[in-house]
Chain A
């Protein structure tokens, strides 16, 4: 019996020592985390890498996706014949749905002044498929592009679209600067 109680105290001593070591490690780790700075990150699409494969519309855990098309107006050409708006092959140049590139009619066109037209993304309708982006990117200025909308994004630890993105275009950006704005330059 005396042997047993001795054994117990030895084990307890060991346990206390290890716990103290664990506390020290905890303090060290917490210090390490704090010294890193407290920058939160969120997911965003790098428009330079995006190839508009269409996975943003289907892979997101949300339906419809947290990714939507945005319009950087300062880059837009305000064209009458907008390649983001019109299909390549169409019946005529009327604004009927059969002529529109957007499958949900989310890109809305309005007259500004001769010969300019404004295009606005109706966000609740947009599903983030990037079909309009393809047209705008290929023939226009690339002022339409896909971005993660942070009023919708759940900021999953591993974004499902990021895991599926064939272009590896999903990047973590600082939460303080959660959108990537295109700079004024040529987009062929």
Chain B
């Protein structure tokens, strides 16, 4: 208490005097002593950021060329290794488009934070490429994808009943990460990035275990992070179906041999549809109508639920959790201090200021969490509608939303082999 009063008096002295009153006034040297300059090494020069952008564009261009024109798995694999080296181990995982989602959300929601151009560029350019060439970013540029691509040894097929719900997680994760970054409560994607610990050769125990577990799983399940977690993959999933050029497995006529679907470790190749009976078609139409009618209600329900749980989610914010802790301690409901509350006491800030700050953050969480709830319901509803839609396929086709353009199917397709080696297509029954 005494010390605090002393501080107040000292502060008053400082406010009135132009010259500060240190505990020990700086000496007046007689021997001509000069203050050494404070050593302030500058950060990485801006020119390197342009290098990163150039490498990104070049890698995206090459990946698109290898996947769609050259149709070469081997070229793609070497590019993947390069990206693992450059964006992964050399740049140590930052800057990356996956994380850039959060900076963008934060720039929109947190006043005073402006989005650095490099980060905006990294977010947008792979999306632009996806608009024309599909998910070639995943194929050869993303270091997280590369880390999993190189460990995939014996892929097993994930059954549809598991694949469908798991592939929704990235959309939920995206929503949550955008919400937290928008409200300035932290970067979820960076915090739970499983492979960045390898790139930096060090990380917390939990994350290292998570990363090792994912890589272990990745030896039998193709790219588990990309398919079931990656929030940037969710964005690409939405955009890639619009792409102008898409992976076409068979160069000419498909002989329906099923080899490509067997070779695809990502379950992205859809078989030709059987002739369907008209009865089932009518059933499907009724279900589709019902789902379309139910969608707004689902969204409203999701938003309502979100609003209700916003108080719970708000505790993720460090200021909110600190305010709760300090309040509990003041009320005598919690004994001892946490590191954060101890720091708060040391800083000597006013309680009211902290409580008001936390209340403000809570208020912003409520509508945001409602929006997140609505988003979750929308994703679920749209997926249900998508399941009710029937697409007619005459041959094996790569689903552009799920296809990571790795090029394995080309290597498996006999018609492609015939084309590459210049053999007559009649040999494999695909000729005219």
Contacts and interface: CB of A to CB of B under 8 A. Distances in A.
Given A40-B118, A61-B202, A155-B94, A175 B392 contact: no
- Would you call the interface of chain A mostly helix, strand, loop, or mixed? loop
B40 A179 contact: yes
A168 B115 contact: no
B347 A51 contact: yes
A4 B102 CA distance: 42
B431 interface: no
Contacts of A146: none
B242 A166 contact: no
Contact of A42 (B43, B100, B118): B43
Given A61-B203, A155-B43, A113 B33 contact: yes
Interface string B33-66: 1011011111110100100000000000000000
Interface in B109-151: 113-118, 120-121, 124, 127-128, 131-132
B6 interface: yes
Contacts of B319: 168
A42 B186 CA distance: 16
Contacts, number: 186
Contact of A36 (B114, B118, B132): B114
Contact of A139 (B23, B190, B239, B340): B23
B131 A123 contact: no
B27 A116 contact: yes
B338 interface: yes
A7 B132 CA distance: 22
B10 interface: yes
A26 interface: yes
A173 to B, nearest CB: 10
A97 interface: no
A91 interface: no
B102 A157 contact: yes
Interface residues of A, number: 70
Interface in A162-183: 163, 166-168, 172, 175, 178-179, 181, 183
A133 B96 CA distance: 35
Contact of A151 (B10, B19, B41): B41
Interface residues of B, number: 78
A73 B38 contact: yes
A19 B131 contact: yes
A186 to B, nearest CB: 5
Nearest to B99: A157
Interface in B247-278: none
Contact of B117 (A18, A22, A34, A74): A34
A67 B200 CA distance: 16
Given A150-B41, A155-B43, A40 B49 contact: yes
Given A112-B29, A139-B23, A157-B95, A123 B39 contact: yes
Nearest to B7: A188
Contact of B22 (A19, A77, A149, A166): A77
Contacts of B42: 150-151, 178
A79 B23 CA distance: 11
A26 B43 contact: no
B343 A53 contact: yes
A141 B93 CA distance: 40
Interface of A: 4, 7, 15, 18-19, 22-23, 26, 29-30, 33-34, 36-42, 49, 51, 53, 55, 61-63, 70-79, 112-113, 116, 118, 120, 123, 139-141, 149-151, 153-158, 160, 163, 166-168, 172, 175, 178-179, 181, 183-188
Given A184-B19, A186-B14, 5 more contacts: A26-B128, A29-B124, A113-B29, A116-B27, A156-B190
23 contacts: A15-B241, A23-B128, A33-B117, A61-B92, A62-B200, A71-B38, A72-B38, A75-B22, A116-B27, A156-B94, A156-B190, A157-B99, A157-B100, A157-B187, A158-B190, A160-B204, A163-B186, A166-B339, A178-B40, A185-B14, A186-B11, A188-B7, A188-B10
